[in-house]
Chains A and B, each alone.
Chain A
Amino acid sequence: MSKIPGDLHYTRSHEWVRRLPSGQVEVGITDHAQEALGDLVYVEVPQVSRRLVAGEACAVVESVKAASDVYSPVSGQVAASNDDLAQRPELLNSDPYGTGWLMRVAPDASAAAGALLTPAEYAQFLAEAG
């Protein structure tokens, strides 16, 4: 069973979103996603200050087997990217909700959070996807 922390929000494309005290949001891929991808060997994170629209492909994670896009859960501007992943992509496997974070985004003031899933909704989504 994959882990779904109770203090995060989720997307149907298997990203997670953490609201930081600063008002920024931290984004990564879920435990379910890293498990499905297998050993990750390469990560491409977005450049700081890049503007993102919710749903836009903004990062690439590659396992031995395949490359997958990561979609921005929110609209806003990239405030930080996790550069450690260039040397240690395996952090996405070992610690997807912690040191394996991908980017921090300063969300647009107008950004609606309504489309994100609660932990219970994401768990149900995974169960239905089988």
Chain B
Amino acid sequence: MGLRTPLYDTQIAQGAKIIDFGGWDMPLNFGSQIDEHHAVRRDAGIFDVSHMCIVDLTGARTRAFLRFLLANDVAKLTLPGQALYSCMVLPSGGVIDDLIAYFMSESWFRLVVNAGTRRKDLAWIGEHAGPFGVAVRERTDLAMLAVQGPNAIAKTLPLLAPERRGAAQRIARFSGAEIDSWFVARTGYTGEDGFEIMLPAVEAAAAWRALVAQGIAPAGLGARDTLRLEAGLNLYGNDMDESRHPLESGLAWTVAFEPATRDFIGRAALTRARGTGGPALVGLVLEDRGVLRKSQQVSAATDAEAAAPRASASLGEVTSGTFSPTLNRAIALARLAPGAGPKVLVDIRGKAHAARVVKPPFVRNGKILIPV
């Protein structure tokens, strides 16, 4: 038996099929993961993400600490509630984890880090927090729900006290607000609008049931993975890890080299890697039928138009692949040598299949963003 969130029993009662995810017993689906995927793209779905690790950092020098710890710069956060996506990197530039930092107040920031990296993240953060006098507290007393989809916000508002709905409606994208005992943030991992709600664990089951009663579809990790991949969002451990730096993981936009005076862990290595023409994370769309999967090899197409295309030099490999329910074909993220494409070949069970290199995201806000 693995670790369980406060919603385990509730989800079992709703027909959840459970799998192990990083030591946690989590719902894979509640029936059809494709139906759950479409519910999020077209209406609203709810995910239990209580396995994710919420860490509160407090102390007068918390902002200075995070400006040193993270590759992105929390100086960009000027209003309470604002959020920032960042990598936490090693001195080598390799990614320890990706996370979201919320600016709660000048002496209080909140991080949400991955479940599978919890232990090493807490050790790393703790090791560097000391000199800044920053206190690190894991919030195991909180649960986390992600309500996502074009109708997610409208269907969540009725659960809030009437005098609080206005405040919740005014939450800007990639920001959050404390609403009574809840922290409600307009963030997510699906490419759709919606809320991520951090709330006392004891309130989680009642909130889940109330949200489902609003017509929000329970959804599992299966749909969460196809949604994030369509949205071009990386998965830690697949698309980046400690052996890969953000610049070769499609995350150059999250590394704040300016101002040049800011010292942060990994800056020297990332500065050296910058502009060296290393591999890049790109999107792939499979032209044939079939499914792209992690670790499939990608090669250059010498004559991709030929009836029997021949593979040549290796370009790299698929880091995340799946069947996209929205596009009705296989898509992937792949780390390829610079300049790869526009046509490439992917080895699927010993046969070369033609694929097209595209710029992620594939789908955002219900709309297909690549030519099909």
Contact = CB atoms under 8 A, between A and B. Distances in A.
Interface centre among B33, B323, B325, B349 (most CB of A within 10 A): B323
A65 B290 CA distance: 13
B226 A64 contact: yes
B290 A42 contact: yes
B29 interface: yes
Interface string B17-54: 10000000000110011100000000000000000000
Interface residues of A, number: 11
Interface in A22-61: 38-39, 41-42, 44, 60
B289 interface: yes
A86 interface: yes
B33 A42 contact: no
B332 to A, nearest CB: 13
Nearest to B328: A41
Contacts, number: 37
Given A41-B323, A42-B323, A67-B291, A60 B349 contact: yes
Contacts of A86: 289
Q: Per DSSP, are chain A's interface residues mostly helix, strand or loop, or mixed?
A: strand
A92 to B, nearest CB: 13
A39 B290 contact: no
Nearest to A35: B17
B291 A62 contact: yes
Nearest to B351: A44
Given A41-B323, A42-B291, A64 B33 contact: yes
B32 A39 contact: yes
Interface residues of B, number: 17
Contact of A42 (B222, B226, B289, B325): B289
B322 interface: yes
B293 interface: yes
A44 B289 CA distance: 9
Interface centre among B33, B226, B291 (most CB of A within 10 A): B291
Interface string B325-343: 1000010000000000000
A88 to B, nearest CB: 12
A44 B33 CA distance: 21
Contact of B33 (A39, A60, A62): A39
Given A38-B29, A39-B34, A60-B349, A67 B323 contact: no
Interface in B207-222: 222
B177 to A, nearest CB: 35
Contacts of A60: 349
Interface in B299-331: 322-323, 325, 330
Given A64-B34, A64-B322, A38 B293 contact: no
Nearest to B286: A42
A39 B325 CA distance: 10
Interface in A56-80: 60, 62, 64-65, 67
A67 B323 CA distance: 11
Contact of A64 (B17, B290, B323, B349): B323
B353 to A, nearest CB: 11
Nearest to B32: A39
B288 to A, nearest CB: 10
A31 to B, nearest CB: 15
A81 B193 CA distance: 44
A62 B222 CA distance: 14
A65 B323 CA distance: 9
A65 B17 CA distance: 13
A64 B222 contact: yes
Contacts of A67: 291, 293, 349
Contacts of A64: 33-34, 222, 226, 291, 322-323, 325
Interface of A: 38-39, 41-42, 44, 60, 62, 64-65, 67, 86
- By Cβ-Cβ distance, the 7 closest A-B pairs, closest first, are A41-B323, A39-B34, A62-B291, A42-B291, A64-B323, A39-B32, A42-B290
